[in-house]
Amino acid sequence: MVSSHHLAKEDIPAIPPEVTGEELDRDALRALGGLERDYADRIARHLVMCARLLDTDPELAYRHARTAADRAGRVGVVRESAGIAAYATGRYAEAARELRTYQRLSGTRDYLPVIADCERGLGRPERAVDIATSAEAKALQGDDAVEMAIVLAGARGDLGQHAAALAVLSRAARLPHSDAASQRLSLARDRVEALAAGMDPEEADWMEEPEDREAALDASPPDDATLFDAEEGSWCGRQELGGSGLVRGNPALKGVSVP
């Protein structure tokens, strides 16, 4: 089903003339091959702009991706881009819908961690837990499995289950994964421990000396400690792993050059 989140005509973004669409990954261009040539070229140019702008101007990147999805919603790579851009701009319900559609079109499950994190963003950590403990999630491997574990730990934290969150991260550390995933696991664990101690995890990030961390973590949390700010996405999930973290980038757009 094509999404109903159509942009108004005046919101459709312009594309610089130097962007041709040929900057796309070869597989992405092949996926657009079923469209009429001029039409496919314009969709490709919007996808290029989405990839280039996602880190610097996610709202404009979203408009490019949404424009492409409004016009070619049956193409998997287009729905994938729309989902990534929606996630990056905090449109979690839309992101989950787009990425579920992409998974149906492509037959992959690579975005299950993002979909689960969208449920957290919508204030539904129980649903995130259900996704993260599903048979589909258990079939994930490598960094995808680690990312799912980090989201699951975040959801456990949302529910106040800090010991369970730490156990999830400890098991994930034993999985095969990249150095980048290892760093994300370490950050996630630090933040779980900080929040369990009633600390602001942003302050914990600045504590570089081990003794500073240990002293702070030994303190008892205040009775009114806020463990998760659903609006800010303050730990182990969207803020740390969105954009350049959890959403590593649309694989089909990996060949796009950033000027």
User: Would you say residue 207 has pLDDT above 50?
Assistant: no
Same domain, yes or no: 175 and 216: yes
Which of 226 and 104 is assigned the larger pLDDT?
104
Of the two residues 211 and 118, the one the predictor is more confident about is 118
Judgement on whether residues 46 and 124 belong to the same structural domain of the protein: no
pLDDT tens digits, 54-82: 999 999 999 999 999 999 999 999 999 99
What is the model's pLDDT at position 253? 53
- Hey, what amino acid is at 107? G
Instruction: Check whether residue 113 and residue 8 sit in a common domain.
Output: no
User: Would you say residue 256 lies in a domain?
Assistant: no
- Do 21 and 47 sit in the same domain of this protein? yes
pLDDT at 12 over 80: yes
Question: What is the reported pLDDT for 101?
Answer: 96
Among 43, 76, 108, the domain boundary falls at: 108
Does residue 140 sit in the same domain as residue 212?
yes
Q: Where are the alpha helices (DSSP H) in 140-209?
A: 142-158, 162-173, 179-196, 201-205
DSSP track, 89-114: TT-HHHHHHHHHHHHHHH---TTHHH
The pLDDT value recorded for residue 32 is 95
| Per-residue model confidence as pLDDT tens digits over 126-160 | 999 999 999 999 999 999 999 999 999 999 999 99
Identify whether residues 6 and 94 lie together within a single domain. yes
Domain total for the chain? 2
Q: Can you give the C-alpha Rg of the chain in angstroms?
A: 20
At residue 166, does pLDDT exceed 80? yes
Residue at 241 is within a domain? yes
In a domain, 258, yes or no: no
pLDDT of residue 121: 95
119 and 219 together in one domain? yes
Predicted pLDDT of residue 203: 57
- Does residue 257 fall inside a structural domain? no
Same domain, 117 and 92: no
Confidence at residue 197, expressed as pLDDT on a 0 to 100 scale = 81
Is residue 239 domain-shared with residue 150, that is, in the same domain?
A: yes
Q: 2 falls in which pLDDT band (50, 70, 90)?
A: very low
Give a yes or no: residue 259 inside a domain: no
- Residue ending a domain, choose from 60, 79, 108: 108
Final residue of a domain: which of 88, 108, 128? 108
**pLDDT, tens only, 141-150:** 999 999 999 9
| Contacts by 120-124, CB closer than 8 A, 24 or more apart | 120/151, 120/154, 120/155, 120/158, 120/230, 120/233, 120/237, 120/238, 121/90, 121/92, 121/230, 121/233, 121/237, 121/238, 122/92, 122/93, 122/96, 123/230
- Residue 202: the pLDDT is 60
Domain extent, residue 220, equals 109-251
Is the same domain home to 34 and 99?
yes
Answer yes or no: do 44 and 124 share one domain.
no
Does the structure show a pLDDT above 90 at 196? no
Say yes or no: 133 and 243 in one domain: yes
Q: Is 222's pLDDT higher than 50?
A: no
> So what's the pLDDT on residue 200?
65
User: Which distant-in-sequence residues (6+ apart) come within 8 Å of 211 by Cβ?
Assistant: none
Band of pLDDT at residue 8, cut at 50, 70 and 90: confident
Is residue 113 assigned to a domain?
Answer: yes
